Every structure is written in C-alpha cells, then in structure tokens.
Amino acid sequence: MQVQKKAVFSPNGEYFAFADGQGLLKIWDTSSNIVKKQHALHSSVNFVCSSLTWGPSIEKNSKENSDDIRPLEHQCLIIGTETGEVLLYDLIADKFCSLFVTSHSDAVTDLCWYADTNSLFSCSKDQSIAIWDVVSGKLISKWQADDEPLHSICVIDSNNMLSASTSILWWNIEEQTVIKKFSGHDSQILTLLPAISTDKSSNSYFLSVAGGESKISAWRLHAKNSVNAVASFNLPDDLLGIDVTRFFSKENPLLLSAVMKSGALLLFKHVLNGRTRKNLMPQSTLCITSKPTGNTTKSSSIPIIASKFTDNSSSCVVAYGDIENPVFEKVNIEDCPKNLTLSRDKHVVQNNSPEISQVKIYNKLGEYISANGNVSSLSSLHSSPKRRKQKDPDENFDSSQAEKLTNHNDLSEEHDEMPNMSTSKKKPQRKVLPVKNYKIKKETILSDPTNMANSLVQGLQTENRALLNMVLLCSDDRLIRESVVLLPLECLKSLLTEIHSKLINPEERSIYSSRKWLKEILSNNIEYLRNCQELQNILNQLKDFIDQQRVSDTLTKLSKLKGLLHLQRIQLSSINCDSSDSDTQESMET
C-alpha cells in the first residue's frame, strides 16, 4: 500500500498539485479544470519530488500610490525531494525558492505546515525531524528522532506532534522529548492525521494508516493502552488517499474520506468518544461511471483519484479520471445516500494547457541557482562560471584577496592564471549538510571537519552564539580548510558577516582565528563571491577593515623606526661627546 503524497489539494480545494516520477509538476485550477502551471523539475535542476504539501497563503500589501494599498494573496506549495531538499513554490509569483538552505541528507518523506505558528515540519529517511519558519526559511530546530527511516509526521498543537516509522512517537516540540510511544503497527506507518475534539481539550485523537492493513486506525493520545487503537475504520481494499476534518464535536462529527485503489470514495461520519467494539463502516460510497456513447451502451468506471473537504464540510471536491488530466467536481455530501453513482462524460483533453516551464530556483537572498548549483545575481539569469581551483594564497594573509573580489579587472587576470582542473587535485564535493544536534560535545565538534561544518551551519541558522564562538575560535589550519570546503554556498553571507564582527573585536584570539577562516573562504570561493552581488557589501566592509589594518600596521612600523632612529641619534651624540672630551684632555696634557 502506498498512500498518495504527491497529489494534493490546497487547503480550500482551489488548486490541485501533482508530481510524477519523471519530475513534472502540474497545478490545476479546480473551478475551471484548467492546468494553471506546468514545471519540469527533473530536466532543469534534477529534482524528483517525494512529497508535497500546501503551505501558507501569504498576504502582502501592494502600494501603487499613497491612497491605494491592496493585499495580494500568495498561495505556496512546499516540495520535498528524493535527495533531501525542501523547496517553496509561490504560485502567484511563479517562482521556486530554496529557502531552507540546510535540508535533509536523504529523501523527504512527509511535510506538514502548522498555521498557528507558521512553521513547517519535515521528516526524512535520514531519521531526522526539522522545523522551519515558512516565511524566512530559518531553521528553528532539528534532531534525530528515530533509529529507523521516518515516513510521516503530523502536528497536534503548538507543542505536540507525532512522527512515525514502524511505531508512533508523541513529541514535546519545545523540549524535543518523547512523551509516549504507540506500538500497535507491525509495518511502515504511511500516514498520520490529527483529529481533535473541541468538547474537551484532553480529547485529542489521531489517525494512522500502515502498509498491508485494510483499515484506518484511530488512537487517543491520553489513553493508557498504547498498543491497541480505540477505533478502526474498515476498508474493503488498499487505500490511495485520505482526508479528514481536523476538528469534531458531538454536534459536528468527524468526517473522513478514503479514496480506494479500486476508484471508489468512502465517506465516514463518526464522533470519536473512547473505544468502539466494532469496526466503523462507511456511511456512503461514491462511484463515478461514464455515460453510454453511440458506440456502446455499456458504462465504464471512472476512478476517483483524490478528495478534499471544503471549509463548511457540506461538500467535497473530488478529482477523477486520469491523474495526468483529471476532472474536478464539487459533490454535496450533506444528504448523501448509502450508495451514490454519478454518470459523467469521459473527459476530453484540453489544448489550452500552458507550456512546460524550466524551473528557476532562487535562494533566500534572491539569487538565482542554476542547474549545476552555481549562483548568479537575480537580474542575470544565466549560469555563473564553473568553480575552478584557486592557487594557494600566501601564508601571511593580506588585503590582496579582498581587493581581487572588488576589482573585476584583477579578477579576470587571476582567472587566466588559474591551473586547469584536469591537472589539479579535485576538491571534496560540496553538498548540503544535515544539521546535527548542537548539544554534541566540544571535543567531538573540534576533532572532525564534518562536525565543524555542521555545527557552524546550525549556529548560523539558529544564531547560537556559543556554538559559533566554539567553532570560529578554532585556529587549526587543516580543520578550517577542510570545513570550509564542506560549507553550503548559501551560508557564506551570514558567515562573512559573523567573521567581520569578530575581526573588529579587540580580542586578539578572535582576530587571529578569524583571519584564518577568512583566508580559506576567499581562496576556496573566489568565483562564487565574485559573481554574487548580494555579497559585495560585506566584502567591501572586509576590504575596508583590512586596509585600515594595513595602514595601522604601517604606522606602527614607522613609529618603531622613528624610535630606533632616535636611539641611534642619541648613541651617536654620546660617541661624539666622548671623542671630543678625549681630544680636549690630550691637548691639555700636551
């Protein structure tokens, strides 16, 4: 059984998104049955989608003049990939953003957006959970949550969430501790969904679906028995997709829709209130068939492929037909009979679909990331030059490297003098690093370049001053050099800003180690720094500081030279005086 995670409705059912195995992302407007957007993820950036979820609908004010301020609503789709990246797609702006600069090291298996805190939760086969701020892309926290690959995640409230592998863990989000373990499944748990009673705050439930089981299990969070579910929704065959109303009460029962692989849609209606003795059966079954045509008098089944309850829960938007070209329809379920069969015309493929667009991904700084991972400025969408190995810098660091970054003529000359990559030793491959728990021991962090790079990235993401100081005060040349090679390019701006603040710090140890870090960053990333307009400001600040240091060093040397000359003059005067006294005494004796 494989519950569909790559075909999802937006929260209000206005849009439907689907990503196929070849990296094609399609988005439909459900009210018009028209493809709104088509993007090729695989051919342009080599991303294959592993999970989808609709994120926040962000309102931004557009001010055309002093008297006209209009809110613009930006609907966001969040994409998890097989290689661990998390992307945000702004449907209105038609732009992909790589906001989440430190993602997972393996496939993203599930995504969950929680509106109350505007946070995105992700889990992965790398056994970790990450929490992000959706707007800024900032990593809030990340930790290893299991010793098996995680398959699903869901949020109950601002401080409680669930994760699932072959068992289900209830987490305290703030403390990152396990409150309870539910171990009633024997196979991979593919989906978790919250079901919260508004009658009592302690009556929180959740639903789970495991592979190989013909049921949907309902669990009560605060139940003493964590091995057996309190209720089970019976399914006749394998489940394809599921939707549920998040809140329920005695007056408004829980609504659950289950799309079967056979093509039928089962509608359940129930008030969860403790343990039930019998499996719960569907209240209604919805099927869709084709109308007879002139060639045949027989009707054929048209499979339902996805469903979504509307805001008032009196109707349900269904997608049916071919997943590559579905039809959407809103069905009234308020007075739905036990068995409902809708007869519909077979869908005719429309010719007004937009062309497939090649994806252009931007990072949180507004920089365009080309297909090979290079970055150019937002105004220039061509790929930046390939990264090439730089000559080793002089052992003593000076301002010449910073000057090269701000002088394009010097950069061109430097580029011509670079050795050919085929004859030079290749650098370790740069990749996005998984963030480890920063509570790791200091000795462990400062003994391994990977741990140092991971800790540095997390310190920058979370603005953890203690962690940043621990790493950046390291002055071991080998560790610094190997750590810099592993750092993601997206973190260089914040890293250079941090180094600049340490350079202007009067503490000698901070200046000494920061100079070493800066030297390695410049020597390993000169091509990227040259082409990134966002970095020019901080680079200019670093150059000004280095120039001031050179002037200060020169004045210090001149002052020392002046003192030496003064001492030399005194010594010469003393010698001349002694010589004069000796001559005077000799003449008196004569």
Find out whether 184 and 227 touch, Cβ atoms under 8 Å.
yes
Find out whether 477 and 512 touch, Cβ atoms under 8 Å.
no
Whether the pTM exceeds 0.85: the reply is no
Phi, psi of 481 (to 5 degrees): -60, -45
Which pLDDT value is given to residue 73? 55
Alpha carbon distance 120, 113 (integer Å): 4
DSSP type of residue 173:
T
Phi, psi of 193 (to 5 degrees): -140, 135
Which pLDDT value is given to residue 396? 45
Mean pLDDT, the chain, as a whole number?
77
Q: Which two tokens stand for residue 292?
A: 């007879």
**Residues 6 or more apart in contact with residue 70 via CB below 8 angstroms:** 61, 62, 64
Q: Residue 45's pLDDT band (boundaries 50, 70, 90)?
A: low
Report the percent of the chain where pLDDT is more than 90.
28
Which pLDDT value is given to residue 556? 63
Which pLDDT value is given to residue 407? 45
- Tens of pLDDT, residues 272-320: 988 888 999 999 999 999 887 766 667 888 999 999 998 878 899 999 9
What dihedral do alpha carbons 99, 102, 107, 110 form, nearest 10°? -60
More confident residue, 531 or 52: 52
Alpha carbon distance 161, 494 (integer Å): 31
What does the pLDDT average to over 120-146?
89
- Tens of pLDDT, residues 533-565: 778 888 888 877 777 776 666 666 666 676 677
Alpha carbon distance 108, 129 (integer Å): 10
Alpha carbon distance 151, 153 (integer Å): 7
Count the residues in the chain: 590
Give ∠ CA 72-73-76 in degrees, rounded to 5: 140
Tell which residue, 426, 418, 491, has the closest CA to residue 453: 491
Phi, psi of 459 (to 5 degrees): -60, -40
**pLDDT over 50 at 519, yes or no:** yes
More confident residue, 589 or 178: 178
Residues paired with residue 197 on neighbouring β-strands, in sequence order: 248
**pLDDT over 60 at 389, yes or no:** no
**pLDDT over 80 at 21, yes or no:** no
- Tens of pLDDT, residues 248-262: 998 899 999 999 999
Which pLDDT value is given to residue 264? 95
Strand pairing class (361-363; 95-98): parallel
Q: What Rg, from alpha-carbon coordinates, does the chain have?
A: 32
